[in-house]
Amino acid sequence: MQLVSNRAVAGVVVAVLFTALWSTPSSAGDAFLRGGIIFQPRDIGFEGRWRAAFGSDYPVNFGETVYVGFELQTSVYRQDVIGSTRTATLFPANGFVNVKYKSGNIGARPYGGGGVGLISMFTLLSGNNDWEYDLGFHLVGGVELGRLSVELQLQRPFESGAEMTYALYAGFVW
C-alpha cells in the first residue's frame, strides 16, 4: 500500500465521525453488525480471512430508499514471520463512508451501493510496528430479510496495481 497524505486520512476520519454523530432521534438509521469471510485473494491464510463489520445507514429521502452511512471493519490475527521464529499480530482496520439504495420494505429488501474510505493494516512485531494505509473504495450488494442481512462486498485501494478483495458477510440489522 502506498502512503497517502495525512490531510486525506484526516478528511476520511472526520467524514466517518460526522456521519456517525449526525443521527438524531428523528433521523435514526439502520445499525448493523456482520461477520464475514474473504474468499479472494486466496494467498491470505485462513486465520486472516475473517472480518467483523459494523456501522449505520441513515435515510436521506422521504421514501427511505436512499441512505448515507458508514462502515468500520476489523479483525485480529497472528502470523509467523518468514525466515524467523517471531510472530506478528496483524490488525486490519478499514473505515468507509457510503451511499446505498434500498428497495421499498417488501419483506426481502435488496440493496446496493458503494463508498470511499481508508483501508489500513497495523502490524505489531516486538518493537518493529508498522501502519500501512491507503484510500480505497468498496462496492456492496445484498439483501435484508427482516433483521437478517447477507452482503457481498468488493473493495480495493486506489493504489495502482492493487488487488480487489471479495468478501461475503452475514449478520443483523436493527
Domain of residue 101, CATH code: 2.40.160.20
Query: Residues 45-76: pLDDT tens digits?
Result: 777 789 999 999 999 998 889 999 999 999 99
Domain total for the chain?
1
Asked if the structure places residue 154 within a domain, the reply is yes
Question: Tell me, what's the pLDDT at 13?
Answer: 59
Asked if the structure places residue 38 within a domain, the reply is yes
Q: Which long-range contacts (CB under 8 A, 24 or more apart) does 4-11 make?
A: 4/133, 4/134, 4/135, 8/135, 9/118, 9/133, 9/135
Question: Tell me, what's the pLDDT at 63?
Answer: 87
pLDDT-based confidence at residue 40 (cuts at 50, 70, 90): confident
pLDDT-based confidence at residue 18 (cuts at 50, 70, 90): low
The H or E element that residue 172 is part of is strand 165-173
Question: Tell me, what's the pLDDT at 10?
Answer: 60
Res 21 pLDDT > 70: no
The residues with which 122 forms a beta bridge, in sequence order, are: 91, 131
Asked if the structure places residue 1 within a domain, the reply is no
- Residue 94 sits in which domain range? 6-173
The H or E element that residue 21 is part of is helix 6-21
Q: Which of 154, 164, 59 is nearest to 105 (CA)?
A: 59
